[in-house]
Amino acid sequence: MRTLILRRARAQWPLLAAVLAVVTVGATLLGVCALLVTRTSDRALEVAAARAVPASTEVTAYTVTIAPGDVASVDRDTRSVLREALAPFGGEPVGRMSTAMRPVAIGSAGAQGLAYLSGVENLTDRASLVTGRWPRPGAGETVLLERTAKALGVRPGSRVRLGVELIRDPAPELTVTVVGVVRPQAGGGWERDPLEGAGYVADYRDGSALRTAQAFGPFLMDYRDLLAGGSTMSRLEVTVRPDLSVSSPRDLDRLSQGVREADRRLSAVLGERVQIERIASRLPSTLAATERQQRVTSSAVLAVAVLGAVLTAAALRLAGRLTADVRAAETALLSAAGTSRVQLTGLAVAESALLAGLAVAVALPLSSLAHAALTHLPPLTDAGLATEPVVSGPQLLAVMIGAALLFLPTPARSGLARSGADVALVALAVGAWFSARSGGADARIDLVRVLVPALLLAGGCVIALRLAPPALRAADRWASRAPGLALPLAMSEAARRPRAVAAGLLVTLGCAAATFAVAFDATWHRSQLDQANLAVGSDLVLTLGAPAVAGQGAEVSLATGGQARPAVNRGVAIGQWIGGGDEPPRLVAVRGAGTTPGIALPAGAALTVTGQATGPDPLSVTPQLVLEDSSGLRTACTAPAIRLDGRPHRLPDCVPIDGMRLIAVMLPVTADEFAYDSVRTSDITVDLSVPGGDGWTAASAEPYSGQLRSPTVTTNGSSLRFTADVALGGPPDAARRLVATAFPDPGPVPVTVSAMLASQLSVAPGDQLDILVGLATVPVRIDKVTESVPAAPGAPAIAADLDTVSRALLARGEPQFPIDAWWVTGATDASAAEGLHLGDIRTRTGEAARLTTGPVPAALPGALRLLVPAAVLLLLAGLVLHVTCDLQARAVEVARLRGLGMTRRDIRTTLLGQHTVVLLPMLIAGTAVGAAATWLVSPLLVRAETGGVPVPAVAPTWPWPAEAALLALLFAATALAVTAVVVIQSRRADAAHLRVAS
C-alpha cells in the first residue's frame, strides 16, 4: 500500500498539492481564529484593565462616626482589608478624614458658625500653597483654603479657637494656629470634602439641625495628628488604585471577587467601632463589562471561523469529486485486479491521513506566523495586542479540526440537488435565522448566531446553483443563433455538461463569503460609530467632579477650541415612578443658544440689601442671587441672614467675573419664632442695589405659598424693590419665600421622551407629567416620542432644554442650577480638557475608537480581514483544480477539434467562453448572496458591548467602492487563472491523444 501511495503521489503531485493547499489554507484560518478567541482575547482583558481610567478601578472604603480612641485602629484595619482584597495587585492607600462640626466665632460681634478639621494624605499634591507654609506634624498647626481665610478674616500666624464638638459625647475645644493659605487643585478630590472644597457656605445644613448656618472649612492639619488628636471623625475614607499594568485573567477574576467580598469583611473587622461602613468601587462592574464585550467579540470571531470551515469543506468537496473522477479508471482497474472495497477505503484513508498530517505540520506554524503578523497590523497593534508567534492547545485542536475536513465523505455528482439536501439546508438556514432573530439579547456565546452566517450563505449559494442550469439552457438557446462556432459550442458545453458547473458552489460561496466579510466589517464599524455618537451626546462631554463655578464654561471653551454648554444627565423621579428596573428614568437637558433677560453686573460689584418690616416681630431675609455667565451657567450666591432693620447690609462677593447677569432673586423670610396660632402679619420692603430692569415678575414659593401674599418687584431708582405681606402664623414649614425672576414662569416644559419611557408609562404626545429635579417638581409636556435620547441610549429618558428647565425651577423657588457636565461642540483640542482637571472626559472620537479599535473588540475586524484573502485563495485553488481536471478529461475532445480543423485560438476561445459564461454569473450570484446575508445577518451579529441589541439599530452597509474593487479583483484573478490553465492544457492536446484514444 505504501508503494502504491508513493507512486500515485509522484504521478499526481499537482492534484495532491492543490488539495494540500486547500486544507492548509482552511486549517490556518481556523488556527488564527482560535488564537484570536483564546490568547488575544485574554490579552485584551489585561490591556483593557491596564488602560481603564482610574475612576473605574479605584476602591474606596468609607466609614462614618468614629470615636476619638478608635480612629487610628479603624484606619489601620481598613487599609489591611483593602490590601487583602486587592491581592495580588499593589497600590498606595490614600486617606482623607473630617471631624465632627465645632462652633467657631465669626467677627467681633459674637456670632457663631460651624467649622471642622480635615486631614488629607499627600496634601501637597492636592493643593497649592498661596502664602505661609505647610503644617508641621505634632504642632497643632493648620492651613486654610483662600475663601475660608477670607471669610473668617484670618491670616498666617492667627490662632483660631474651635469649640466643643456638636455631638453626643463631644471632644473638648481646641485652638489651632494658622500657618498658611492654600488653593485647592483641580482633580484633587475636593468634591468629597463636606463643603465640596468651597471653603465657605452661607446656608449649610447637614441634617442635624433644622436651621442653616454658616460653615467654614476645612482646617487642614497633618493626617497623623488627626489620627491621634482626640477628635471624633464624622467621616474617614481610604482609597486605593490597584496597579493593573501586569495582570492575567485569573488574577483579574480573583481581584473582582475580592472587591465584592471586601464590604462584608470590612463590616466584620470594624464591628461596633463605626456607625456605617461600606466599600464602593466600579472595578467589578468594569471588569464584568469588559468580559461581556469579550464574549460578544469571541462570538463574532467564531462565526467567522465557522464560515471559513464551511468554505474549506466546499473546496475539499470539489477536490474530492475531481480526484475521484481523475482516478475513476485507476480505481476500476484495481477493483478488476481483486482489490476489495475495504482495501480501497483503507488506501483512501491512509492517503487522507498523510495529507492531513502534512497540512497540520504546515498550518500550525503558518497560523502562528499569520496571527503574529495580524497583531502587528491595525487595529490590533493600536490596541496593544501585538505578540510574537506562539503555539497553543486550542490552536492545535482547531488546526486538526480543519485538517480533519479531508475525511468528509464526497457525495455523488448529483449530490445536493437530487438528494434534496439543498432544500433541507435552506430550510435549516431559514429556521436558524428566525431562531436567532427571536432569541434573547445577552452576551453569551449563542451557537445559533455563530452558525447563522455560514448557513445562510450556504443556503443562498445552493439556491443559486438550482437556478444555474435553467439559466444556462436559456443562454444556450440564444447562443445557438449566433454566427460562428466558438460561442455556440461554448454555451452548449456549459449548458449540457454537469462538470461545467462542478465548481459553482465553491465559486459562489467564496465570492459570497468575501463580499459578506467586507460588508459586515463596514456595517460593524458604522454601528459602533452610531452607538458612540448617541452614547456620548456631544463632541466632548466633561462630567464634573465638583460644582461648576462662574467662568468655567469660558475656560473649557478656550481650552478645547469649541463651544461649551451646561448639560444635565441624571436620574429623576416621574411623579412617584422611579423606573421599572435598576436604572431610573433619566433627564438629559442641554443649554441651548440665546441669552436670558437680566441685569448686567460688573465684576466685583458691591451689592447691598436694605430692608424694613412692619410690626414688633424682628424679621430677617437670606438673599439668594442667581446669576448667569456668558456660557449659560447659572450660579447661586447665598448671603448670611440679614435683619430687616432699615440699614444697608453688604453682600458677599457674588460677581467674580465680568459678563454676568442677575436673572433671579429669592428672599426667604425668617423670624426668631413662628407661632402656628398667630394671626399677625408684617409688610416687608427689601431694596437690592442693582440697576432696575423691566420684565421682572414676583411670586411666592411652595409649600403654603399663601403665607407670603402680594409679592411684587419694581424698580426704585437704582435698586430693585421687593415687597410682600408675610403671615407670622400658620404652618412652620411654609416656605415664606419671595421669588423674583427676570422672565415669566415658562409653564409646562416641552420635552421629547424615548420610546421605552412612552411604552412603560403608556404616554403619548400631548400628555403632561411631573418630574422631580433636585427638590422641586417641574411640570413637563410631551411634544415628541423618539426611538432613543442622546446620551441615554436604550434607557427610559426625557430630553429637554436646560434653560427652560432651569427657568421652571427658579419660578418654583429652587435656586440651584442642575448641571452635571459641560457639552462641547466643535472641539479642536479635546486633550486640552484633561489639563483642566475638572472631571471625567468623554469624546465621540474616543468612544468610537474604544468600540472599534479598543483591546477587546479589535479581534473582530482582524478576523474579517483575514477571511477575505482566505476566501479568495480557496476559490482560486479550487477553480484552478477544477479547470485543470476538466481540461485533462477533455484532452481527447480537444484533439478531435484540432483534427476537424479548429485552430488553437478558436479552441482557446471556446474553452475560455465556456468557463467564463459559468464563472461570471456565479460571481454575480455570490455577490447577491453576500449582499442578502449582509442585510439579514448583520443586525443579528452586531451587538452592543453589553451583548444587547445596539442602540441605534444596526443599519446594514454595502460599501460600493470596496465591493466593486473586490468583485473586479475576483473576476480578474479567476479569469487569469482560467486563461493560464486553458492555454497550457490546450497546447498539450494534440494528435497523440487521438492515438491513445484509438
Each residue's pLDDT tens digit, 595-609: 889 999 999 898 999
Which of 787, 452, 481, 736 minimizes the C-alpha distance to 617?
Answer: 736
Q: Contact 23/406 with Cβ under 8 angstroms?
A: yes
Q: Which helix (H) or strand (E) holds 239?
A: strand 233-240
Q: Contact 791/541 with Cβ under 8 angstroms?
A: yes
Asked if residue 444 belongs to a domain, the reply is yes
- Residues 760 and 586: their CA atoms lie apart, in Å, by 14
SS (H, E, C) 295-311: HHHHHHHHHHHHHHHHH
Asked if residue 282 belongs to a domain, the reply is no
SS3 928: helix
Q: Are residues 606 and 590 in the same domain?
A: no
Which of 220, 285, 383 minimizes the C-alpha distance to 57?
Answer: 285
Asked if residue 727 belongs to a domain, the reply is yes
Q: Which residue has the cell 460593524?
A: 524
SS3 75: helix
Q: Are residues 297 and 424 in the same domain?
A: yes
pLDDT at 676 (0 to 100): 79
- Residues 985 and 914: their CA atoms lie apart, in Å, by 15
Q: Are residues 237 and 381 in the same domain?
A: no
- Residues 767 and 751: their CA atoms lie apart, in Å, by 10
SS3 234: strand
Asked if residue 258 belongs to a domain, the reply is no
Angle CA 106–110–113, to nearest 5: 40
Q: Are residues 26 and 134 in the same domain?
A: no
pLDDT at 32 (0 to 100): 94
Q: Which residue has the cell 489585561?
A: 46
Of 741, 770, 795, the residue that ends a domain is 741
Q: In which domain, by residue range, is 766 found?
A: 547-595+748-837
Q: Are residues 713 and 756 in the same domain?
A: no
Contacts of 933 (CB under 8 A, 6+ apart): 453, 456, 457, 460, 512, 516
Q: Are residues 591 and 603 in the same domain?
A: no
Neighbouring C-beta atoms of residue 168, cutoff 10 Å: 6
Backbone φ and ψ of 266, nearest 5°: -60, -40
Q: In 786-800, which positions are buried (b, 16+ CB within 10 angstroms) versus exposed (e)?
A: eebbbbbbbbbbbbb
Note every long-range contact of 47-54, with CB atoms under 8 Å and residues 24 or more positions apart, other chains counting. 47/383, 47/384, 47/385, 47/855, 48/290, 48/854, 48/855, 48/856, 49/244, 49/247, 49/252, 49/287, 49/290, 50/244, 50/245, 50/246, 50/247, 51/384, 51/855, 52/244, 52/286, 53/840, 54/241
Asked if residue 261 belongs to a domain, the reply is no
pLDDT at 693 (0 to 100): 76
The pTM is what?
0.87
Of 837, 869, 890, the residue that ends a domain is 837
Q: Are residues 230 and 318 in the same domain?
A: no
Q: Which residue has the cell 483579574?
A: 252
- Residues 310 and 405: their CA atoms lie apart, in Å, by 9
Q: Which residue has the cell 453682600?
A: 651
Q: Could you tell me how far CA 605 lies from the centroid of its own chain?
A: 46
Contacts of 781 (CB under 8 A, 6+ apart): 748, 749, 750, 751, 766, 767, 768
pLDDT at 437 (0 to 100): 84
Of 211, 241, 271, the residue that ends a domain is 241
Q: Which residue has the cell 479589535?
A: 858
For residue 870, give Cα distances in angstroms to 22, 307, 365, 455, 977.
10, 11, 16, 18, 17
Q: Contact 398/60 with Cβ under 8 angstroms?
A: no
- Residues 589 and 574: their CA atoms lie apart, in Å, by 15
Asked if residue 376 belongs to a domain, the reply is yes
Neighbouring C-beta atoms of residue 571, cutoff 10 Å: 14
Q: Are residues 337 and 411 in the same domain?
A: yes
pLDDT at 998 (0 to 100): 44
Q: Are residues 128 and 21 in the same domain?
A: no
Contacts of 380 (CB under 8 A, 6+ apart): 40, 374, 386, 858, 859, 862
Alpha helices in 327-420 (DSSP H): 328-336, 341-375, 393-404, 415-419
SS3 881: helix
Q: Are residues 478 and 382 in the same domain?
A: yes
Q: Contact 118/218 with Cβ under 8 angstroms?
A: yes
Asked if residue 569 belongs to a domain, the reply is yes
Q: Which residues of the chain have pLDDT under 50?
A: 413-415, 495, 991-998
Which of 458, 398, 412 minimizes the C-alpha distance to 320?
Answer: 412
pLDDT at 602 (0 to 100): 93
Fill in the amino acid letter for 330.
E
Q: Contact 562/825 with Cβ under 8 angstroms?
A: yes
Contacts of 341 (CB under 8 A, 6+ apart): none
- Number of domains within the chain: 4
- Residues 757 and 762: their CA atoms lie apart, in Å, by 8
Q: Are residues 311 and 448 in the same domain?
A: yes
Asked if residue 828 belongs to a domain, the reply is yes
Q: Are residues 494 and 631 in the same domain?
A: no
Q: Contact 629/657 with Cβ under 8 angstroms?
A: yes
**DSSP-assigned beta bridge partners for residue 103:** 114
Contacts of 521 (CB under 8 A, 6+ apart): 861, 864, 865
